[in-house]
Amino acid sequence: MAIEDLYGKVLALGAQTIRQHTCLPMLVNNIPAGDREQAHSPGGVTEVIVPPEFASRDVVPGPTPPTSQSAPAPSTVKVNLNYWKEVNFPLTEKQISLIESAEDQVPMFLANAVSPIVEDITAAIAAQYKGVYGYIGTGGTTPFAAAPTDAQNAKKVLTKQKCPKFMRRLVLNTDAYGNATGLDAFARALNFGSTEVIREGEISHAYGFDWYEDVGLDDINHSNPNGTPAGWLVNQANHAVDDTTVVIDTGGGPPVAGDIFTVAGDTQTYVVIGFGVGSTLTYAPKAKVAWADNAALTFKGDHAINLAFHPMAFAFDSRPAARLRIPGMTSSFMTWVDDMTGVVLRLEIRDEYHQTGFYLSCLWGAELVDARLAARIAG
């Protein structure tokens, strides 16, 4: 096999491994502004396209129609390329021959080599949960143990947050997904309209969501290192509707970013954005009601993260890392752009002592774009 073919084979099998082991990159918004093959520096900024905003106007009957408004240009959201990871897997001639003869089946040693990057990509996207304030379920209790109630509640929460009703995704860790596939609501194939759950252990579309399992979520948990905050009270007499900060006092265990809380007299769940000088708590969304002075804050405990969302809630982008070009030095690497997941892989092959060194790298970033379009399902 020519060296160019070997590059292509390893990259294709690597991309196939990513598709098989994580679904998040292909479920979020990964439509780039510009050429995905264009190299960028680690720590640089790219842009992902988001739908434009429209506004209505009053209709005023008259002899002359108003001037037609210009079509809004697509807007973009900036994505910081903060993640640059590499795996190195030296291979023997025998292992290389296995890659050369592989068809659809990825050799186990190659799948194992690529899996750390898969886990890192999933973790980077899932970590954006810290800005998500929609909350369903109970921390420490795996959802879907007895009923599909959490999916029903997630649908309700997203609708209240003005999330579009189409293209909603439900991405669960293996424990939650395993529970869901065992529910009577899905196992009764005649009622559900499909035997897929029984035959394959897979749920396609139910309760307004496309369902997915992502093993990368198994290690994604929210935990406050200070312990669950308790005893905190509003210490501000002039808190108002639409505020995003409040002064609090008396409590123990300082809140951290990502903590979820409610306030007495308000049913909305809020997420901590920051907690700083003067015991000022910054939160999202804007306050739905004016909180009374000395109203109690109740914080949710540690919980596993499962996600219900619309694709436009999150943005993901990946680009090849820029390489220094030195005159007279030949570069031996190849880039693979996977249009399905948006992941860009770069492979460099080096001839080493009685082995061949493979260096597979990926540069990417992920951002929370619109928290209204997402909710956590605690586990």
- Identify the pLDDT of residue 200: 44
When pLDDT is averaged across residues 26-30 and rounded to a whole number, the result is 95
- On average, the pLDDT of the chain sits at 88
- Identify the pLDDT of residue 195: 45
Does the pLDDT of residue 327 top 60, yes or no? no
Percent pLDDT > 90 in the chain is: 61
In angstroms, rounded to a whole number, what is the distance separating the alpha carbons of residues 163 and 310? 7
Percent pLDDT > 70 in the chain is: 91
When pLDDT is averaged across residues 262-287 and rounded to a whole number, the result is 95
Q: How confident is the model at residue 306 (pLDDT cuts 50, 70, 90)?
A: very high
- Identify the pLDDT of residue 176: 97
CA terminus-to-terminus distance, the chain? 49
- Identify the pLDDT of residue 324: 60
Burial 298-329 (b: 16+ CB within 10 A, else e): ebbbebbbbbbbbbbbbbbbbbbbeeeeeeee
- Identify the pLDDT of residue 331: 52
- Identify the pLDDT of residue 187: 64
In angstroms, rounded to a whole number, what is the distance separating the alpha carbons of residues 291 and 296? 9
Q: 209, 151 in Cβ contact below 8 A?
A: yes
- Identify the pLDDT of residue 194: 52
Give the type of residue at 124: A
Give the type of residue at 49: I
pLDDT digits (tens, 9 = 90+) for 35-56: 888 889 999 999 998 877 777 8
- Identify the pLDDT of residue 20: 84
Largest CA-CA distance found in the chain, in angstroms, rounded = 85
pLDDT digits (tens, 9 = 90+) for 181-198: 888 877 664 455 554 543
Does the pLDDT of residue 161 top 50, yes or no? yes
Residue with tokens 């306050």: 287
**pTM (predicted TM-score):** 0.87
- Identify the pLDDT of residue 364: 97
